[in-house]
Structure 1
Amino acid sequence: MSVAARLVTLSQGGVGGGPTQLMRLCFFDWAVCAIAGQDEPVVRTLISTCESHGPCSVFGGATYDPATAALINGTMGHALDYDDTHFDHIGHTSAVVMPAVLAVAQDQMMDLNRVLEAALVGSEAAVRVGLWLGHDHYQVGYHQTATAGAFGAVVGLARLLRLDREQTDNAIGLTATMASGLKGQFGTMGKPLNAGLAARVAVEAVTWAKAGLTSDPQGLENFAATHHGQGHESAWDDAEPWKIARISHKFHACCHGLHAMLEALAQQPIDPEAIAVVRVYTHPRWMSVCNKPDPATGLEAKFSYRQTAAMAIAGISTAAIARFSDDIASDPELRALREKVEVMSDDRLSEMQARVVLTFADGRTETREHDLDAPLSLSERETRLRAKATAVLGDARAAALWDVVSRGDLVGLFDV
């Protein structure tokens, strides 16, 4: 069976027993990130180049056609790099799937329940395509959030619009000729733009396929062949019906590769004056993603083990978006503290694990570990996500957003 055929089957399959409440939390968290990111320079710059017209709202008030709304909201939701991550997918699923599905749902005047159903299917597809493409695709330099994410968004839109098999096949093929995104953009405005472009690609591909545009039926296979895809058949196993159920949410306002280390450091307070050396052990793939040793800007600090470790040890909240500023990157005390941090790879660790060995000035050592794959109940996840929303948006706005999402009110979403 071709990959496209598998994705068509997923788009038309049942969702009974699927993690629908988890998807509501994912939508809520993505909306928090988008609202918080609406004034970021990348968003303001992008909006200044787009003509406002159409039925689809973006956070901040303007309306656009579906493809442009997906582009803007997609960039907005990933601008702060505070959105959810799936480590099988090797990227951010909601960043691309949510804005694409939301834009088309607005255009078709559908409710939030339809959005969540489509987002569930699309997010699952993104994870499985990410698994199928494999680590080589990511390690060679492709941004899987944007590549696998675009295909996932197309599958979600096929579900939303009830496309037939031929239309879905064509939409997947058209996406194969447009999907893109490079890791080289990490630490720049190009990274969140990758997510917005992927969301726009999905909307355009589905719109064109629905209108009758055809494409290569082996488009996705050809994409893998030319983009270092490994074609892992294990991506399609049924041992885990919903791989999206292992989505990981961010509780620190920086690259997700840093979070296991930060959770380990947070287990007990540390006296910065007592520290001699901090050795951080992480999975090898993170060494090329979030190991900027000497960040010069707040944006670069979000991709730095040494900087964020120094912040955590100094008692500076890494959950607060405002803390990742240019001033924090140049703070002399933090720069001195980060010189004590050494980062090393350990292929015995999974991508969700970290080990931190603290050596104190008096010779004592202490080892701390954390695994982001440790179970987190739905109620615990909701509590932490709502606390994150409050920290990011304030009490009133966070409560209003939770109410709107709980009621499924798409119209009220943009009034928060």
Structure 2
Amino acid sequence: MRSVLTSNDMKSDLLDILIDLAHRDACSLPPAVFQIARMSLFDWVVCARAGAGQPVAGLIRKFAMAEGGAEVASLTGGGKGPARLAALVNGTVSHALDFDDTHFAHIGHLSVAIYPAALAAAEETGSSINDVVSAFLVGAEAAILVGMTLGPDHYNRGFHQTATAGAFGACIAASRIYGLGTSQIKAALGLCATRASGLRSQFGTMGKPYNAGIAASNGVETAKLAHLGFTAPADGLSDPLGFIPTHSDRPQAVADAGHLYRFEDVRFKFHACCHGTHAMIEALLQAQGDNRFAPGEVAYCRVFTNPRWMNVCNIARPRSGLEIKFSYPWLAAMALDGRPTGSIAVYDQALTRDLTIADLAGRVEVIADETVGEMQSRCELSLKDGRSIECAFDLDVSLPASELEERLKLKAEQLLGDGSDRLTFLRDKTRDGHASEIGRLLAAPV
């Protein structure tokens, strides 16, 4: 357990670490972690392109096009706009399917909050793809550190870390691309402290992907304002009236802050729903494969999960396709019935009225268990023939690099079909190019 910090303990240590991250030489970034960041870029673009046809994507793009402005950065699905608006659109669209990566150390989606900011700034400044990846990686580390410092109290009281901690990561990424100096980065972070926002009450609605867009947009906006000369508090994060003391009653000390690259622990999604449910889905799929039973044979299913997830993804009776993504009972029923949880097409209104799934979901009991970790799930199945099956899964166990790359490739093919071939170069750290290449991929017509 990490120790609790007071504002006096924090002083400016966190601020100094974030500034150091922003200025870190690209050559010093660990190659293995940089490669994971390239895979994250690939996955982010896949999620953005796949989400471009979603209703929220059309609405946010329509909003941006109506507002207009300098056409310097690409919008997913077509068009260009100011960097801030592009970050808003691309962050929102890429999180529309809730199919993007998660970092469990602070429970946040890093790619959808930070890559849109880094790319928008890079397109505006004529930077390279590897500049985008480097900015993303240091921004991701910043977001993780801010999120871990805020601690579980911040998330549990209702804040969405993707939007709050993610905004600071987006700010660091954009500040790096725009070439801000130390005093300017302090000002950008100070401004970000008054801009960062986002609530978990938005889950299951268009407001959740909008949170990601807000984070990216805030990062670009605050970096650009600081670059122009805007002033802000000396330490908007750790000052007694700064973001951390006002948004967490129990901020946490982070061991080896600034010395470890925690991004390498990121986890990618292979089911198009809340990541808190994935360990359960994997456990039930494994049980099905090992024991070969029909869905109708299930008398009941008990799902044991960490208490943290009980008010996040335990909607008992979802009313929409979006809410199904946050429903343990419905998703358990889908896994048991062999429904493709990795298919974006299945999460629709009709599924909320599916009698087979509703019946199976009614046999699922979700139990909070503090002995189960946040990345784990344990399930007990009782079959009508008297058999009992226990299964468990732990997302904390890393996939081998080759298997991870193959699964991401398959995910891209399932979401984009033949169009996924054009994205392959994004995974290759030896292949650089202009950031506008990514922009053109995003902006292709839906």
Q: Could you say whether these structures have the same fold, taking a TM-score greater than 0.5 normalized by the shorter chain as the test?
A: yes
1:144 is paired with a residue whose SS is: coil
Q: 1:150 to 1:235 in 2, by over 3 A?
A: farther
Determine the structure 1 residue equivalent to 2:251: 231
Q: 1:232 to 1:404 in 2, by over 3 A?
A: closer
Query: What stretches of structure 1 move > 6 A for 4+ residues in a row?
Result: none
Q: Distance in 1 between matches of 2:189 and 2:432?
A: 29
**One-letter amino acid matched to 1:228:** S
> Shift of residue 5 of structure 1?
1.6
**One-letter amino acid matched to 1:171:** A
Q: Distance in 1 between matches of 2:436 and 2:184?
A: 29
Q: Distance in 1 between matches of 2:135 and 2:437?
A: 20
Does 209-218 or 158-167 show the bigger shift? 158-167
Q: Distance in 1 between matches of 2:228 and 2:187?
A: 10
Determine the structure 2 residue equivalent to 1:400: 422
> Shift of residue 405 of structure 1?
5.5
Q: Distance in 2 between matches of 1:27 and 1:130?
A: 21
Q: 1:126 to 1:316 in 2, by over 3 A?
A: same
Identity of aligned residues (%): 43
Determine the structure 1 residue equivalent to 2:23: 12
1:146–1:181: 8 Å Cα contact kept in structure 2? yes
> Shift of residue 115 of structure 1?
0.3
Is residue 277 of structure 2 the alignment partner of residue 264 of structure 1?
Answer: no
Q: Distance in 2 between matches of 1:265 and 1:114?
A: 41
> Shift of residue 241 of structure 1?
1.3
Does 355-364 or 242-251 show the bigger shift? 355-364
Determine the structure 1 residue equivalent to 2:42: 28
Q: Distance in 1 between matches of 2:68 and 2:179?
A: 28
Is residue 273 of structure 2 the alignment partner of residue 254 of structure 1?
Answer: yes
Q: Distance in 2 between matches of 1:138 and 1:326?
A: 29
Match for residue 176 of structure 1 among 156, 172, 193: 193
Q: Distance in 1 between matches of 2:274 and 2:389?
A: 25
Length, aligned pairs only: 414
Q: 1:12 to 1:404 in 2, by over 3 A?
A: closer
Match for residue 436 of structure 2 among 391, 411, 415: 411
Task: Give matches, 1:161-310, under 5 Å.
Answer: 161-221=178-238, 222-228=242-248, 230-234=250-254, 236-237=256-257, 241-269=260-288, 270-310=293-333
Where do 5+ consecutive residues of structure 2 fail to align?
1-10
**One-letter amino acid matched to 1:231:** P
1:45 is paired with a residue whose SS is: helix
Determine the structure 2 residue equivalent to 1:102: 119
2:280–2:392: 8 Å Cα contact kept in structure 1? yes
Q: Distance in 2 between matches of 1:178 and 1:411?
A: 28
2:118–2:173: 8 Å Cα contact kept in structure 1? yes
Q: Deviations over 1:154-184 (max 9, x none)?
A: 1122222332110110000000001000000
Q: Distance in 1 between matches of 2:391 and 2:177?
A: 45
1:267 is paired with a residue whose SS is: helix
Task: Give matches, 1:332-371, under 5 Å.
Answer: 332-371=355-394
**One-letter amino acid matched to 2:115:** M
**One-letter amino acid matched to 2:284:** L
Superposed CA RMSD in Å reads 1.4
> Shift of residue 404 of structure 1?
5.3
Determine the structure 2 residue equivalent to 1:71: 88
> Shift of residue 232 of structure 1?
1.4
Q: Distance in 1 between matches of 2:437 and 2:107?
A: 32
Q: Distance in 1 between matches of 2:397 and 2:383?
A: 28
Q: Distance in 2 between matches of 1:89 and 1:251?
A: 20
Does 162-171 or 405-414 show the bigger shift? 405-414
Is residue 140 of structure 2 the alignment partner of residue 142 of structure 1?
Answer: no
Q: Deviations over 1:181-217 (max 9, x none)?
A: 0000000111100110111111010000011111011
Determine the structure 2 residue equivalent to 1:82: 99
Does 9-18 or 74-83 show the bigger shift? 9-18
> Shift of residue 90 of structure 1?
1.1
Determine the structure 1 residue equivalent to 2:5: none
Task: Give matches, 1:105-116, under 5 Å.
Answer: 105-116=122-133
1:290 is paired with a residue whose SS is: coil
Q: TM-score, with normalisation over the residues of structure 2?
A: 0.90
Q: TM-score, with normalisation over the residues of structure 1?
A: 0.96
Q: Distance in 2 between matches of 1:214 and 1:117?
A: 27
2:163 is paired with a residue whose SS is: helix
> Shift of residue 390 of structure 1?
0.6
2:321–2:351: 8 Å Cα contact kept in structure 1? yes
**One-letter amino acid matched to 2:41:** F
Q: Distance in 2 between matches of 1:161 and 1:346?
A: 46
Where do 5+ consecutive residues of structure 1 fail to align?
none
Match for residue 373 of structure 1 among 396, 418, 423: 396
Q: Distance in 2 between matches of 1:162 and 1:181?
A: 27
1:265–1:368: 8 Å Cα contact kept in structure 2? yes
